[in-house]
Amino acid sequence: MASSSDTSSDTIFGRILRGEIPCQEVYADDLCLAFRDVNPQAPVHVLVIPREPIPQLGEATDEHRALLGHLLLVAAKVARLEGLESWRTVINSGAEAGQTVFHLHLHVIGGRPLAWPPG
């Protein structure tokens, strides 16, 4: 039986991380990869994904504390690299929250006024 980590590594993001599917890379380091969303919801829409396959934020543990902080810092770095002064960082956790790929990812969205609530 596959663990949830095995399942998330088999997602489209797992395939991108393995180089099986190309992406428009914005930033990469040993812990994560940031790339342009193929279905952007704003002029800037970048996804930041950890290299470790965590299915969703709700499954992160205390062991992931440093990684989660790193992902947020990278989201801010990506926003600055994209020339944004204001942006939204979104993490959907679970299907009812709108998560469609079950590999933890952060959306960095900006470049236009963003309404609230978002959905």
Length of the chain: 119
User: Is 64 designated active site?
Assistant: no
Catalytic pick among 45, 103, 105, 107: 105
As to burial, measured by CB atoms within 10 angstroms (0-12 exposed, 13-18 middle, 19+ buried), residue 112 is: exposed
Rounded-to-integer distance, Cα 52 and Cα 76, Å: 20
Q: In what order do the strands lie in the sheet with 106-110?
A: 25-28, 32-36, 44-50, 106-110, 88-90
Catalytic residues: 105
